[in-house]
């Protein structure tokens, strides 16, 4: 991992900046590249516009590591309202949550209870997605996911290709026909547990994606969401899947709002399932910093906004 990337990811942890980032106009202006606005209405309007282009959406209310039960309850109530609004507007939109927003740091049972309220409120044909957070949360997230999946079919989980362990983690997920979102991984993880080199992460990603689309996974009815903006990986995977006879409608690509827009549209137009994750909310600082870390050019974009402001 480059020094710049590591430095940005470390800065994303700053408690002071987490509390005060919104004071800075240059940051507020730059963040609009990655989110349509801070309000849920902004996210749902963007979802409506994308639906017109046959692009489905996921929405997520930014926030992580909440510190009291009342906050976990209020996040849960918020998402229940969002699920109701999605239903009323008949949008092709799913919801994605972080377990630390639902109280994972406070009480695992509370978190599970909040999660199941959301799963029950989601329509049976739509997946309630669970994000994957930093490595100390991986065990708990997978345990909670597997428990929830025994009781409900419409719940999915994210796994990260940069972790050495993910190949093993896929075994039970494939066996139960889980909905799995595969990402490279967005956090600052040590070399003891995660591939430090991008080329190794990319190779791991391809291998895991192929497993999620293998005959065994298809037989178990795995829903494989290929969440990447990496065009080389997307092209190679489509070629491989075509050669393997994987039906086009099983290839689902997910990207983040504002990134690779032309590619999102192209995939939808070519008949692949294409979805965009839209974030909203005021607590965008750590999430925004992870987006900066993913691409050094984004730092130049921030710098241009700074000198232009």
Ligand X SMILES: Cc1cc2nc3c(=O)[nH]c(=O)nc-3n(C[C@H](O)[C@H](O)[C@H](O)COP(=O)(O)OP(=O)(O)OC[C@H]3O[C@@H](n4cnc5c(N)ncnc54)[C@H](O)[C@@H]3O)c2cc1C
The residues that touch ligand X, with contacts defined as CB under 6 A, are: 131-132, 158, 160, 181, 183-187, 227-230, 254-256, 259-260, 277, 291, 294-295, 298
The active-site residue, picked from 5, 131, 202, 230, is: 131
- Nearest distance, CB of residue 74 and ligand X, angstroms: 22
Is residue 107 among the annotated active site residues? no
Instruction: Show Cβ contacts of residue 185 under 8 Å, excluding neighbours closer than 6 positions.
Output: 132, 160, 161, 162, 163, 194, 201
CB 280 within 8 A of CB 47: no
Is residue 23 among the annotated active site residues? no
- Nearest distance, CB of residue 215 and ligand X, angstroms: 25
The active-site residue, picked from 181, 211, 273, 291, is: 181
Which C-beta is closer to ligand X: that of 69 or that of 226? 226
Report the alpha-carbon distance of residue 248 to residue 244 in Å, rounded: 11
Identify the residue whose tokens are 């209405």: 41
Length of the chain: 309
16 C-beta neighbours (distance < 10 Å), count: 7
Report the alpha-carbon distance of residue 169 to residue 66 in Å, rounded: 27
Which C-beta is closer to ligand X: that of 70 or that of 170? 170
Which C-beta is closer to ligand X: that of 208 or that of 246? 208
Give percent helix, percent strand, percent coil of the chain, each to the nearest 5. Answer: 55, 15, 30
Which C-beta is closer to ligand X: that of 160 or that of 166? 160
- Nearest distance, CB of residue 235 and ligand X, angstroms: 12
User: Residue 88, SS3?
Assistant: helix
- Nearest distance, CB of residue 260 and ligand X, angstroms: 6
Q: Which tokens belong to 72?
A: 């976990």
Q: Which tokens belong to 79?
A: 């998402």
Active site residues: 131, 181
């Amino acid at each position: 991992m480059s020094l710049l990337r590591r430095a940005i990811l470390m800065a994303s942890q700053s408690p002071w900046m987490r509390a005060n980032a919104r004071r800075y106009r240059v940051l507020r202006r730059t963040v609009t590249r990655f989110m349509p606005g801070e309000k849920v209405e902004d996210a749902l309007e963007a979802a409506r516009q994308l639906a017109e282009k046959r692009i489905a959406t996921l929405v997520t209310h930014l926030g992580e590591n909440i510190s009291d039960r009342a906050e976990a309850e209020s996040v849960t109530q918020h998402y229940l309202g969002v699920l109701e609004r999605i239903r009323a507007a008949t949008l092709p939109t799913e919801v994605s949550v972080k377990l630390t927003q639902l109280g994972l740091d406070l009480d695992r049972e509370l978190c599970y209870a909040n999660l199941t309220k959301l799963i029950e409120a989601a329509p049976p044909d739509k997946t309630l997605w669970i994000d994957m957070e930093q490595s100390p949360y991986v065990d708990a997230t997978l345990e909670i996911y597997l428990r929830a999946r025994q009781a409900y079919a419409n719940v999915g989980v994210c796994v990260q290709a940069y972790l050495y362990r993910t190949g093993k983690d896929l075994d039970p997920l494939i066996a139960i026909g889980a909905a799995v979102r595969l990402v490279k991984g967005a956090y600052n993880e040590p070399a003891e547990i995660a591939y430090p080199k991008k080329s190794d992460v990319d190779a791991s990603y391809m291998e895991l994606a192929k497993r999620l689309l293998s005959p065994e996974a298809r037989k178990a009815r795995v829903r494989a969401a290929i969440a990447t903006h990496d065009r080389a990986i997307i092209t190679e995977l489509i070629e491989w899947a075509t050669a393997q006879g994987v039906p086009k409608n099983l290839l689902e690509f997910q990207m983040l709002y504002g990134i690779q827009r032309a590619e999102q549209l192209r995939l939808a137009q070519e008949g692949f399932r294409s979805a965009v994750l839209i974030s909203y909310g005021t607590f965008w600082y750590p999430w925004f910093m992870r987006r900066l870390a993913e691409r050094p050019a984004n730092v130049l974009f921030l710098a241009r906004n700074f000198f232009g402001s």
